[in-house]
Structures are given as C-alpha cells and as structure tokens.
Amino acid sequence: MTQTDVTALIALLRGMDASVATAESLTGGLVCSALVAVPGASDVVRGGIIAYTADAKIDLLGVPPDLISRYGTVDQRVAASMANAARRRFGSTYGLATTGVAGPDSSEDKPVGTVHVAIAGPEGTNSCALWLTGDRDTIRNSTVDELLSLFVDRVREESRS
C-alpha cells in the first residue's frame, strides 16, 4: 500500500462523503497514522482508539468481556466487535480494527503472526484472519497493508452499488 494508494483511498471516501475511524491493538496506531499521512485526510478520518490491553478493549471499545474470556483478544469476533465500536464511537461510515500477535513471544496459545482484521460499514461487518511471517515490525506493517487493501476493495465495491 503506497502513499499514492492511500491518497486514492482518501479521495474515494471523500467522493462518497464517507468517513472512517479505527480501533487498533497490535498495530498501535499505525493504521490511523497511515491514513492521516495524506494531506486533506482530516475531511475523512475521524480518529481512532488504540486498545492495547484487554481492559482497554472492554472499557473503551465495549468488547463483551465474555467474548474475550472465551476466545481471547486475538479472535475474529473480537476484531469485528472492535470495528463496530470504532464506527459507533466516532459516528463514522466505516470502522477498521486490528488484533493479533506481533511477537516476539506467542500469546494466548496463538503463534506469532496470527492476526485478525475487521471492517465495519453500512453493509455490515467482516473479519479476516491472517497468518503473517517476519519480525514484529514486518508483522505490524503487513497488517496495515492487508487491512487497507481489503478496505479499498470494500469501499470500491460499495461506491458502485
């Protein structure tokens, strides 16, 4: 995902009068900062919540505690709940979420590189599992790339419908 791609994404959202907000765990703010790197992003990007701990996911994003106690924080349902929360908390058209294991240690019995990303929007919420390789930085950057690529596809599709 080059800055040119992100610029095109922001322009597409602006043309649809759509907005976006984020709820990030392992990426720690990288998704939102990739979006606001583009001049004029403030027309489209509302903000985000970085929920790095389970408590922050519960308290600030309203992820149901029993979801986390049952499945852990690195889970497709948790990612979907986070994306919905981003959309709801910021009143944005779309909500984007990330949760996963950046390493170097595994977590919740899930191997390093296990990542779930989710997109919430007017036509519903979807969540994708990714199994990424590389070091901590690579995994976080790949997560941003994968999520924004999925988001571009989704926005393009919805802009045509």
Give the integer Cα–Cα distance in Å for 78 and 132: 19
Considering only 7-15, 52-60, 126-134, 151-159, which stretch makes contact with its own copies by CB under 8 A? 52-60
Tell me the closest approach of the beta carbon of residue 89 to its own copies, in angstroms: 7
Instruction: Indicate the residue among 135 and 153 with the shorter CB distance to its own copies.
Output: 135
Q: Could you tell me whether strands 20-24 and 124-131 are parallel, antiparallel, or unpaired per DSSP bridges? A: unpaired
Please list, residue by residue across 77-111, b when 16 or more beta carbons sit within 10 angstroms of its beta carbon and e when fewer do: bbbbbbbbbbbebbebbbbbbbbbbbbeeebeebe
Tell me the closest approach of the beta carbon of residue 45 to its own copies, in angstroms: 5
Give the integer Cα–Cα distance in Å for 70 and 60: 19
42 binds its own copies (CB under 8 A): yes
Site for its own copies in 2-21 (CB under 8 A): none
Instruction: Indicate the residue among 38 and 118 with the shorter CB distance to its own copies.
Output: 38
Q: Count the site residues for its own copies by CB under 8 A.
A: 37
Residues 6+ away with beta carbon under 8 Å from 48: 21, 22, 23, 24, 29, 31, 32, 86, 90
Considering only 9-17, 32-40, 64-72, 123-131, which stretch makes contact with its own copies by CB under 8 A? 32-40
Give the integer Cα–Cα distance in Å for 29 and 161: 31
133 binds its own copies (CB under 8 A): no
45 binds its own copies (CB under 8 A): yes
Residues near its own copies, by CB under 8 A = 22, 24, 26-33, 35-37, 39, 41-42, 45-53, 55-56, 60, 89-90, 102-105, 136-137, 140
